[in-house]
Amino acid sequence: MCGRFALVIGKDFWTRFTVIDHQAQLTPRYNIAPTHEVPIIVGESPNKVVMMRWGLVPSWAKDPKIDNRLINARAETVSTKPAFRASLKSKRCLVPASGFYEWKRAAEGKVPYYIHRKDDEIFAFAGLYDRWKSPERSEMLSFMIITTTPNSLMKEIHDRMPVILRREDENAWLAKDALETDSITRILSPYPARMLEAYRVSTAVNNPQNESEGLVKPVV
């Protein structure tokens, strides 16, 4: 699964995701957790940044508290689950990230690790979003992250990993057109292990209220 990640935004963020109108004021985030609001990239020709809540609330949901459960979708079944079918067809999004956390089982308990690109470049998870309206007609935009089987690096830490999109697949994922099954399978495959690095970090990240650059630093 993917239950925590970081997003450190540099001056090249807007060009990286081909966003022209960048009025949003974004700050570095080192401990993004479910229910937090996150800048999400949607394909609007040109691309657009929209703040969304992490935890998908499908448009048909009666109770918005369902978002506490729908933070991830499995790549193997995302195209067959009724909760995700409509979003997979036309509400795909990019979830920008600098890295993510995963917890490895050890003798002393669960140990947090931080996983990021070796070159420290920002990347995007494959996400789905939806628009929910309350009976009073107030609106909520929310998203989830798709996970897949682990690559050789992640296999040593956890049995799942978030889908990190290859840059050449980002435009196809953002497009409003439905994707063929073969394309979905290829796009949602594990990211190459050789491009990632993982190291142990402080257990301070266990508390989602903690927020500092030190959370992504390795511990000895």
- Which residues are the active-site residues? 2, 102
- Residue 140 tokens, joined: 């909520």
Of 140, 194, 141, 205, which Cα lies nearest the Cα of 164? 194
